[in-house]
Amino acid sequence: MEIWFSQLDTENVKTSVRVDKQLFSRQSEYQRIDVFESREFGRMIVLDGEIIFSEADEFIYNEMVVHVPMAVHPSVKNVLIIGGGDGGVAKVLTQYPEIEAIDVVEPDEMFIEVSREFFPETAKGFDDDRVKITNMDGLRFLRRCRDKYDLIINDSTDPFGHTEGLFTREFYGNCYRALHDDGIMVYQHGSPFYDEDEAAFRAMHRKAYQSFPVSRVYQAGIPTCPAGLWMFGFASKKYHPLKDFDAKRWDARGLKTWYYTTHLHKGAFMLPKYVEDILAEEEQK
């Protein structure tokens, strides 16, 4: 017997994963949530037909959104995660003892429940006392924040789904205000390869570039992402991701990783020419 789950990367390209069984399928107030057991990737969680993470490759994403800013900012105490209902990002953050508070703002309660039930290892991030979960729309939460965070991680994935509002000019503006004067925001920047993703990719950079003094993009290879390539945005009020990067300080922490290294940190900001061109074009606008 063969069951295959297919993610439509574009109308004409599929990423298909052979599935052993389906563990969960329900429509929440915000999205359709599916959990599959697969041979290659272990358990995968799928939101509205797109793979959000799998047991096999989630470490890449979680490490890249946490360690990169943490190796740049000298003193992170308060962190906000927008989305992050699976707890994976929070879990990596809890490795840093100097962090005092981690706010997770995830509107979809069902997503959190599903993560706790099917991905208990990942959801362990929620068990740390510093982590506080709020079930609220991200934009609404941000409206009430002023000068409060050192680091904001936008862990929402889909610029066209229910998290659309988190890829907009108002979102970047609201994040800017919620950050301290030396704050950093890291966000998912999508995949620039396919034509249909390119417009969103461009718009995101343009908005971040207009809202923050420093705005750079870095990349990682993630197998379940469209074209296997994923980008992250590094928007910051003060620190530059390479010039203010302190490899020695970070290495001295002795954290265990599977993807991130301080060598890779530098390499991640070295982008393919076509991506550099896209970014440069948007910066002219």
Which one of residues 14, 18, 169, 253 is an interface residue with other proteins (CB under 8 A)?
169
Total residues in contact with other proteins, by rule CB under 8 A? 15
Is 165 among the residues that bind other proteins (CB under 8 A)? Answer: yes
User: Which range of residues in 60-68, 90-98, 171-179, 253-261 is near other proteins by CB under 8 A?
Assistant: 171-179
If DSSP codes are grouped into helix, strand and coil, which group holds residue 206? Answer: helix
Tell me the window of 98-106, 147-155, 164-172, 271-279 that interacts with other proteins (CB under 8 A): 164-172
**Which one of 28, 168, 261, 262 is in contact with other proteins (CB under 8 A)?**
168
What is 7-33 written as a DSSP string?
EEEETTEEEEEEEEEEEEEEE-SS-EE
Q: Does 253 bind other proteins (CB under 8 A)?
A: no
Nearer to other proteins, 173 or 223 (CB): 173
The CA distance from 126 to 44, in Å, is 19
Task: Retrieve residue 279's tokens.
Answer: 């970014």
The long-range contacts involving 21-26, CB below 8 angstroms and separated by at least 24 positions, are 23/118, 24/114, 24/117, 24/118, 26/110
Q: Are the CB atoms for 124 and 87 separated by under 8 Å?
A: yes
**Cα(36)–Cα(23) distance, integer angstroms:** 6
CB of 147 to other proteins, least distance (A): 13
Question: Per CB under 8 A, does 140 bind other proteins?
Answer: yes
- The residue range among 4-12, 62-70, 166-174, 189-197 that interacts with other proteins, by the rule CB under 8 A, is 166-174
Q: Which of 108, 155, 158, 197 is catalytic?
A: 155
Q: What is the DSSP string of 135-191?
A: -S-HHHHHHT--S-EEEEEEE---TTSTTGGGGSHHHHHHHHHHEEEEEEEEEEEE-
CB 220 within 8 A of CB 259: yes
Closer of 14 and 146 to other proteins (Cβ): 146
Which is closer to other proteins, CB of 142 or CB of 153?
142
Q: Which of residues 80-139 bind other proteins (CB under 8 A)?
A: 137, 139
Asked about 103 being catalytic, the answer comes back as no
Distance CA 82, CA 154 (A): 5
Residues annotated as part of the active site: 155
Q: Which residues bind other proteins (CB under 8 A)?
A: 137, 139-140, 142-143, 162, 164-165, 168-171, 173-174, 177
